[in-house]
Structure 1
Amino acid sequence: MKAAIIGAGPAGLAAAELLSEAGVAVTVLDRMPSPARKLLMAGRGGLNITHTEPLDLFLSRYGAARARLEPAVRAFPPEALRAWCEELGQETFAGSSGRVFPRAMKAAPLLRAWLARLEARGVTLHTRHAWTGWDEDGALVFARPGEEALRLKPDTALLAMGGASWPRLGSDGGWAPILAERGVALAPFAPANMGLLIEWSDHLRDRFAGTPLKRIALSFGGRTVRGEAVVTARGLEGGAVYALSAAIRDAVVAQGEATVFLDLRPDMAEAEVARRVAAPRRGQSLSNHLRRQLALPPVSIALLREGAAPPEAAIKALPLRISGVAGLDRAISSAGGIRLEELDEDYGLRRVPGVFAAGEMLDWEAPTGGHLLTACFATGRAAARGMLRVMGR
C-alpha cells in the first residue's frame, strides 16, 4: 500500500512516521528545498514544543475548535510528545512558565534524528516538488524545476502544507484555490499570534525599538495576561501580546481600532503604587522619582509619557491605541483554511475521497506556548490513522 504526504512540516512528518511504522510505503513531497523550514525557524529562539498545564486547560486554548481537535490531542497529549522527543534522543525540560523545550533548545537536532528515523523506515522525501492539483485521471501532479511534472496515484494522500503565515518559509496558502475548485469550503486566512501596530512618537520608536518589557501585564476584553513583550518600531510583539492577539484582531476588524491596557507593575497593588508615587520627590524629576520608587526602566517611563493621562496615573492601566495588526508575512501562525465541517471524523475531506488534511491547513488557531505544535503533531497522527483505515490496516 502506498501513501503520499504533501508537506514536510510537523503534521506531515508525524503522519509519515505512523504510516511507515504500519508498513505503508510513504512518499513525502515538499515544494521547498529542505523540509520543516518553519519548524527550524521556530527553534531559533528556543523550540517551545508543548506545555505542562493540565490537559483541560491546555485544550481550552483551542477555543471554538476545541471539540474538533480534542480527540486527536487526547490521543497524543503533551506528555506523549515529550516521550517521543526522548525516544529520538532529545531530552526535554519545562521552564518556569510551564513551556516545554528540548534540552538543546533548537529544532535542528530533533529534526535530524526524526528524518533519520523516517529514512530508516523507508520513507522517501522529495523536495522542490510543488503540488499543482490533480490531472484528469485523478493523479496528484507536482511541478519540478527544469523537469517534467511528476504524477502520483497513491492509495491515499494527506495534505499538510501549512497555513499562510511566513510564506517565504513555504506556507503561502497557494493550495487554497485548488481545493476551492473541488468545492471544499475555506475560511479566509488571517494572521494569528502577530504583533500589534501602535503609532509611537519618533522619540520612543527611535530610542526604544527592540527593547523588552519584562514582568508586565496586558488587558483586553476582560482578560489579563502576564508575561513579556517587546517594543518594536511598529508597535508591540511578544508572548503576552500573542495571547490576546486573536481577540484584538477581531476587534480591529470590526471597529477599525482597539485599546489595550498595559500594567507596568502587575506584581504591586494599586494602593501601594499610589503610595510610592505620592512619596516626597526631594527635588527629583518625575522620571527619577518613578525609577527609584517603582524600579521602572527607561522604556516604561517613555511609554507613560506617550499617553494623554499624567504618567503617574497610568502605571497600572496605561491605554494603548491599536491601529491594526501585523500581516501574514510576519505572523507566527494563521487562522483560516479548510473549514472543520469539511472533514470527517478521521480528518478525511468529505468532498475528495481518499484525501486527508492536517495541521495548519485547517481552520483553527491557538496561542503560542506549545499548543500550535502539539495540535500539528496530533492532527497529523489522527489523519494517518484515518488513512490506515482507508487502506484496511
Structure 2
Amino acid sequence: MSSQSTSETVAIIGGGPAGLRAAELISAAGISCVLYDSMPSVGRKFLVAGKSGLNLTKDEDLDTFISYYGGSHNGQFDLQRWASIIKEFDNKMIREWAEGLGITTFTANSGKVFPEAMKAAPLLRRWVHKLREQGVNFRMRHKLASIAPAEKEQGYKLTFTSPLDERTSYNHRYVVLAMGGASWPQTGSDGAWRDILDQQQVCYQTLQADNCGWMHPWNDEFLKIAEGKPLKNIHLSCGDQKVTGEVMITKYGLEGSAIYQIGRTLRSLPKAYIEIDLKPTFTHDQLVAKMGGKQHGLLREAKYRWKLSPQAMALIKHQYKHTNDVNLLATQIKACRIDLDSPRPIDEVISTSGGICWSELNEQLMLNKLPGIFACGEMIDWEAPTGGYLMQGCFASGTRVGKSIIQMSAEE
C-alpha cells in the first residue's frame, strides 16, 4: 500500500451533484481540491436520472417547495435547518446556475423545471469542464475504504481501493462525504460508507427504499386488462395524508408519482395500504344520482355513466365482489382500498430514505465527532418525492458544505 501526503486541501468523495457543487464553490475560491469517485467517471447517477428528462427543480412558492421535505420518523429531521439550506441555494438560483453554464431551462405545465435539451449529458459536460478549468483534480476508480487522523499534520488520512484492490492513502485537511444513498448501486451509490461510519461511531438511520413502487398480488385476469396502464387524475390517501396524481399498474403492484409522495407514511404503518378515489371530482351522492335509479348491471352502467377507464373497472372487480347496491359501489369508487406488501428492492429504486442523523451534524453540515469532515446529498437523513426536490436538495446541501469550508479555511 502506498501512502502520500498531498498539497490539496480538500478531498471530495463522490461525483454526484452534491459533491460536484461543493467542488465548484471550493475551487472557485482558490482552494485546492481533489474529487474522488469509485467509478470511471463522475455523474453516473445524474445521467441515469436525466434519461427521461433532467428534472432540476420545481417552479413553485418556496414555502410550498420546502414543505415536501422530510426525514425518518425517528431521525429528528430538522426542517428549520433544512429550510435554511434550501434557501441558500433555492429553486430560482439553480436555474440561474444552469444559465451560467449556458444551459437554458424551461418550466413544464407541471411546474417541473428542465433543461431545454431535456438531457443531463450536455449540462454535465460543461460542468466538469468548468471544474477542470478551476483546478479540480479528478481521481477516478478510487473507492473510500477508511478514514483515520493524519499522522504528522492536521486533517485526515484517507485510504482508497482500486479495481485491483490496491490501496493508496492521501492526507487532506478537509473532507466532504458525498457518496449518495444505496439506490442504483451500478452507478457507484451503494451505501458502502455505512461500514466506514460504523468505525467512527457516527450514527445514521437505516437506509430504506424511497420513491419506489410497492408490491401487491394481482391475478392474471386483472393484469391482462390493466398491466402497464395508469390510473389518472386520482386522489390517493394513506392515514391522514392525501395526494393528487396518478399511479401505474405493474406486474408486481403499483408505481408512480402519487405512490412516491406517500412513501414515508407507508413505511411508518404496521400494515401498508392506500385508498384510491377514482372519481375525485364527484361526491358519493353525485355518483349515485348519475346512475338514475338503476338497480341491475351496475358495473356496466357505471362504466358509461361514471366514465371509468377499463383499468379502473378491472380494479373494482379485482378488489370487490360484484354488487347490486349502488351506494356501496359508489363508496368503493370513492375509496378503493389496496393492501400493500412491501416496497421494491432498494437497489432498483429512485432514492433512499435514512442516512446520517441530524444530531451528528452542526449547522455547517460538519460531523461533530470528526471536525473537518462534512456530509451532503443523500448521505444525510432527508427525503423528498420526485419532481425536482431530490436534485435541489443535493445541490443545496453541497452549496452549504462548500461555503462552510471556504469560511473555515479563511479563518485559519
* TM-score bucket (shorter structure): over 0.9
Query: Which moved further from structure 2: 365-374 or 131-140?
Result: 131-140
For residue 356 of structure 1, report the CA deviation from its aligned partner.
0.7
CA distance in 2, matches of 1:82, 1:219: 33
Verify the 8 A CA contact 1:155 1:391 in the aligned structure 2: no
Shift of 1:99: 1.8
Higher mean displacement: 62-71 or 106-115:
62-71
- Larger deviation: 174-183 or 263-272? 263-272
Of 297, 303, 307, 2:319 maps to 307
Structure 1 counterpart of 2:287 = 273
Cα offset, 1:13, TM superposition: 0.2
For the residue of structure 2 that corresponds to 1:4, the secondary structure is: strand
**Residue 233, structure 1, aligned to residue 251, structure 2:** yes
| 3-state secondary structure, aligned to 1:350 | coil
Q: CA deviation at 1:44?
A: 1.4
Taking only the aligned residue pairs, the percentage that are identical comes to: 39
2:37 is the counterpart of 1:30 = yes
- Report deviation, 1:84: 0.8
Contact 1:192-1:334 within 8 A present in 2 as well? yes
Matches within 5 A, 1:69-88: 69-88=82-101
**CA deviation string 1:59-114 (max 9, x = no partner):** 12223431221221111010001111111122212222222222222211211121
| Structure 2 length-normalised TM | 0.89
Q: Which AA in structure 2 matches 1:37? A: R
| SS of residue paired to 1:151 | strand
Q: Which moved more, 1:182-191 or 1:130-139?
A: 130-139
For 1:261 and 1:96, how far apart are their aligned partners in 2?
27
Q: Which runs of 5+ in 2 are unaligned?
A: 1-7, 71-76, 324-328
Alignment-derived partner of residue 162 in structure 1? 180
Alignment check: 8 A CA contact 1:195 1:245 kept:
no
**Equivalent position of 2:47 in the other structure:** 40
Letter in 1 for 2:278: L
Paired residue secondary structure (1:132):
strand
- 2:292 and 2:241 map into 1 onto residues whose CA distance is 29
Q: 1:152 to 1:250 in 2, by over 3 A?
A: same
* Equivalent-residue separation in structure 2 for 1:174 and 1:258 (angstroms): 29
TM-score, normalisation: structure 1: 0.93
Name the amino acid aligned to 1:26.
Answer: C
Query: Residue 128 of structure 2: which of 104, 115, 123 is its match?
Result: 115
**1:178/1:142 CA distance change after superposition, 3 Å:** same
Per the alignment, residue 215 of structure 2 pairs with 197
Match of 2:381 among 363, 373, 383: 363
Q: Does 1:19 align with 2:33?
A: no
The alignment status of 1:179 with 2:186, answered yes or no, reads: no
Q: Where does residue 294 of structure 1 map in the other structure?
A: 306
**1:53 aligned partner:** 60
SS of 1:62's partner is coil
Are the aligned partners of 2:101 and 2:126 in contact in 1 as well (CA < 8 Å)?
A: yes
Whole-Å separation in 1 of the counterparts to 2:137 and 2:62? 35
Instruction: Say which SS state the counterpart of residue 165 (structure 1) adopts.
Output: coil
1:102 matched to 2:104:
no
**1:185-236, CA deviations, whole angstroms, 9 ceiling, x for partnerless residues?**
1111111112121121122234422212221121111222111111111111
**2:10–2:172 CA contact under 8 A, matched in 1:** yes
1:26-81 CA distance string (max 9 Å, x none): 21111112211111111112222111221112112223431221221111010001
What is residue 129 of structure 1 aligned with on the other side?
A: 142
Residue 305 of structure 1: CA displacement?
Answer: 0.6
CA drift at 1:279? 6.0
Residue 147 of structure 1 deviates from its aligned partner by 7.2
Preserved contact between residue 156 and residue 390 of structure 1 (Cα < 8 Å) = no
Say whether 1:259 aligns with 2:297. Answer: no
Q: Which amino acid aligns with 1:322?
A: L
Give per-residue Cα distances to partners, 1:307-354, cap 9 Å, x unaligned.
125473311111111122223122211111111111111111111121
Give CA deviations for 1:138-157 in whole Å, capped at 9, x if unaligned.
Answer: 41111112374222112211
Matched residue, 2:227: 209
Q: 1:270 to 1:95 in 2, by over 3 A?
A: farther
Match of 1:139, as an amino acid? K
* Structure 2 counterpart SS, 1:360: helix
The alignment partner of 2:362 has SS state of coil
Q: 1:119-155: per-residue Cα shift (whole Å, max 9, x none)?
A: 1212122221111013574411111123742221122
Shift of 1:176: 0.7
User: Could you tell which deviates more after superposition, 130-139 or 227-236?
Assistant: 130-139
- Distance in 2, matches of 1:147 and 1:236, equals 41
Q: State the Cα distance separating 1:19 from its structure 2 match.
A: 0.5
Post-superposition offset of 1:384? 1.1
One-letter amino acid of the counterpart of residue 17, structure 2:
P
Question: Cα distance, 1:171 vs. partner?
Answer: 1.2
Paired with 1:206 and 1:372, the residues of 2 have a C-alpha distance of 35
Structure 2 letter corresponding to 1:274: V
- 2:255 & 2:50 partners in 1: Cα distance? 17
Q: What is the number of equivalent residue pairs in this alignment?
A: 387
CA distance in structure 1 between the partners assigned to 2:127 and 2:304 by the alignment: 52
Checking the alignment, whether the CA contact within 8 Å between 2:208 and 2:346 is kept in structure 1 is yes
What is the RMSD of the two structures over their aligned residues, measured on CA atoms?
2.0
